[in-house]
Amino acid sequence: MKRQVLIAMGAAAMMISCTNNSNPLLQEWNTPYGIPPFDEIALTDYIPAVKQGIKEQKKELEAILANPDTPTFENTVAAWELSGKTLDRVSGLLFNLCETEADDAMNAVVEEATALITEHEDDIAMNQAFFERVKAVHDADQSRLTREQQMVLKKLYQSFTRSGVGLDEASQARLREINQTLAAAQQKFGNRLLAENNAFKEKFGIPVSAYTSEMTTCADRARREEMFRAYSSRGNNGDGNDTKALCLEILRLRAEKARMLGFDTFAAYQLDDKMAHDPATVDAFLEQIIGPATRKAKQEIYDMQKVMNRDIAAGTLPAGAQIEPWDWFYYAEKVRMEKYALDENLTKPYFRMENVRKGIFEAANILYGVKVEPLDGVPVYNPAVEAFKVSDADGTLLGIFMTDYFPRSTKRGGAWMTNFREQYVDAEGNDVRPIIINVGNMTAPTDSLPALLTIDEVETVFHEFGHALHGLLTRCHYPSVSGTNVARDFVETFSQFNENWAFQKEILSRYAHHYETGAEIPDSLVAKITAARKFNQGFMTSELCAASILDMKWHELTLEELEEMSKGDQGANVAAFEQKVCKEMGLPDEIIPRYRTTYFNHIFNSGYSAGYYSYLWAEVLDKDAFAYFRQQGLFTRAVSEKFRKTFLERGGSEEPMVLYEMFRGAPPTTDALLEARGLKD
């Protein structure tokens, strides 16, 4: 759970100014909007600042525990929410930058900081005196608390019960050891995967983020096969960056931790406080999706094989050639061209990055009245980063938004949103607004062309800005529930919902202009994009659902099963298990999970363990909500205002399904998702 804290206590602030005036991380930042002074911070500043931050928060906790008054929400829970300003500020910077500016020196600092912070978090989570105070507040009459306060209290109470506060001393010591080892192992996984991604780029001359695009256009089948095998074997090459044994170590430690905390499997532990609540619910949900998806995918294979057969007849392929995994993107594009005459070489000129970014801002303005303007001359951590001021319709500051869209060797793959500062209300009642960034690995500009995005990349830009809006529009009081601090299987609802606007004609007219002529994207091309939106969804849904099932099956293994798997040939055991899971789910041989085990960063290093299903789970909510928009009128301001106030402003201050039914008036169904993906029988 992310937490951004408020104003530090006066004594701590005085101590900082007296003893640490040379470390910019330990001073108030005299910068526009409190943006971190990136250019003033050295790597050597982080560890002293982390240690100082831990020291301060320990003193703040001591003050809470020393309070002789009866525990109340204000003197215990709210006081805790106000603690740890320095630590949160420093760790927020460090752990964000290590994802975009990683090198050996940065990794060493992160490794040391991770160990320090993990130990500190365990000290808090296992502090019996603190738990007793929180429990007293939890067990008392909560009727005078606001609903947000009740949710903050529930979250804090659960954080204790899920962290081993009730264990005996020996068990707590073992749990601390597990947490430290896990933190280090997960960081190591991320480092190895980054090295593998860089090796892929060195071998093929393209970043991993360009793999799909290259596979779509590459006519050389041998090269496609070579790229596929390299891409799908990352972390599985038996060298220093191999991750198989590391994956099993992480899984085994998680299973041991879950067992210690009273759960049969890590999946059961992980889901206990999520919307889905238990593995059986998730398994049943994914089963509803994988069947229709694979049936559709088999039809797609049939269509592609017909095109391949023509190439065989023309003599460009040997007799008997069949669609293989490395053929999918290439022949799917040929089928798409035949069915829809949609050539991305014709769409890309209308999707210059700067124009697409304008599109996300325009959509937010139309829906929520949000205004965005560039910020020049403010600190950024890399020259590629751009900053913007985001204001409400009345001119009130909503927050600062940054973008970092293009790949580089120090940045991990994928796209994400994160905060340098959370939204919260400080001790003086000031609404402190967030500093948010969207990071990606989009098609970069070249010497001859600007950054021209694919259709998928356009959706990604809208997706990540959906997360950003969730963080920017939040109006919570306490940092632990503000913005995107919601259940993992709820958080993707708002990013995926924002994708729905990307290709609406009313939005396209605002941003999809040819980068050379300025001409608006023609209606004929928009019609082709719209018609093709359901194309290849059997494949897309199958690979996504397959990865979700693989994640669940790994985390549904018991400790004993994982200990047995860790014996003997670990690499063979990992491969055999993955193959077994894919066969049991009915995944066609021509498709592999979107992420195979050895490079599944989401579940081994990014907080989605037993949670990758969240994307599909949240899509049920987002598509059902968008269906409501269609019923009421897509651009009916009252509906978008209702969406904003019910969801985007309230963060985690209410149970997710309560919020959803407040907005929709009924529980969601999978119908809208299956319809949107073209999977209904």
pLDDT at 4 over 60: no
Question: What pLDDT score does 7 carry?
Answer: 24
HSE-CB of 663 using CA atoms within 13 angstroms: 28
pLDDT above 70 (res 2): no
Of 554, 481, 487, 486, whose CA–CA distance to 258 is shortest?
554
Report whether pLDDT(259) > 80: yes
Quick one: residue 374, left, alpha or beta (phi over 0 = left, psi -120 to 50 = alpha)? beta
Helix residue spans in 205-278 (DSSP H): 211-217, 221-232, 244-260, 266-271
Contact between residue 77 and residue 134 where contact means Cβ atoms under 8 Å apart: yes
Tokens describing residue 515:
């980068």
Parallel, antiparallel or unpaired: strands 386-391 and 397-404: antiparallel
Find all residues with CB under 8 Å of 351, minimum gap 6, and list them.
452, 453, 454, 455, 457, 458, 512
Q: Is the pLDDT of residue 17 over 50?
A: no
Contacts of 319 (CB under 8 A, 6+ apart): 312
Q: What pLDDT does 449 receive?
A: 97
Residue 632 has pLDDT above 70, yes or no: yes
Q: Is the pLDDT of residue 14 over 70?
A: no
Q: CA-based Rg of the chain, rounded to a whole angstrom?
A: 25
Q: What are 37's two structure tokens?
A: 């002074």
Q: Compute the average pLDDT of residues 28-53.
A: 96
What is the distance between the alpha carbons of residues 277 and 646, in angstroms, rounded to a whole number?
23
Alpha carbon distance, N-terminus to C-terminus of the chain: 40
Q: What is the pLDDT of residue 20?
A: 54
- Please name which of 656, 667, 621, 659 lies closest in space to residue 274, comparing C-alpha atoms: 656
pLDDT reported for residue 12? 31
Q: What is the reported pLDDT for 482?
A: 98
Point out which residues pair with 421 in neighbouring strands.
435
Q: Which residues of 394-428 are buried (b: 16+ CB within 10 A; e: fewer)?
A: eeeebbbbbbbbbbeebbbbbbbbbbbbbbbbeee
Residue 681 has pLDDT above 80, yes or no: no
Question: 244 — alpha (psi -120 to 50), left (phi > 0) or beta?
Answer: alpha
Residue with tokens 């609540």: 277
Q: Which fold has domain 348-532?
A: Neurolysin; domain 3 (1.10.1370)
pLDDT at residue 196 in the model: 96
At 621-631, the pLDDT tens digits run 999 999 999 99
Indicate the SS3 state at residue 191.
Answer: helix
The mean of the pLDDT values for the chain is 94
Average pLDDT over residues 486-515: 96
Residue 361's nearest CA partner among 433, 500, 461 is 461
- CB-CB contact of 315 with 558 (8 Å): no
Known active-site residue 584: no
What is the predicted pLDDT for the residue at 321?
Answer: 97
Q: Is the pLDDT of residue 16 over 80?
A: no
Q: DSSP assignment of 173-186, as one string?
A: HHHHHHHHHHHHHH
What CA–CA distance (Å, rounded) separates 300 from 306?
10
Asked if 417 and 471 touch (Cβ cutoff 8 Å), the reply is yes
**Alpha carbon of 338 to those of 275, 303, 333, 529, 602: distances in Å?**
42, 11, 9, 14, 35
Concatenated DSSP letters of 644-675:
IIIIITTTTSS-HHHHHHHHHSS---SHHHHH
Residue 568 has pLDDT above 70, yes or no: yes
pLDDT digits (tens, 9 = 90+) for 668-677: 988 889 999 9
Task: Tell me how far apart the alpha carbons of residues 598 and 604 are, in angstroms, rounded to a whole number.
Answer: 9
Which listed residue (148, 362, 464, 543) is catalytic?
A: 464
**CA atoms within a 13 Å half-sphere pointing along the CA-CB vector of 143:** 1
User: Are 215 and 329 within 8 A, CB to CB?
Assistant: yes
d(CA 605, CA 236): 17
Question: In the predicted model, is pLDDT for residue 604 greater than 90?
Answer: yes
For 387-426, the pLDDT digits (tens) are: 999 999 999 999 999 999 999 999 988 999 999 999 999 9
pLDDT at 537: 95
Stretch 303-316: mean pLDDT: 97
Q: Which residues contact 291 (CB under 8 A, 6 or more apart)?
A: 586
Enter the pTM of the model.
0.89
Domain residue spans of the chain: 348-532
pLDDT in tens, 83-124: 999 999 999 999 999 999 999 999 999 999 999 999 999 999
- pLDDT at residue 8 in the model: 28
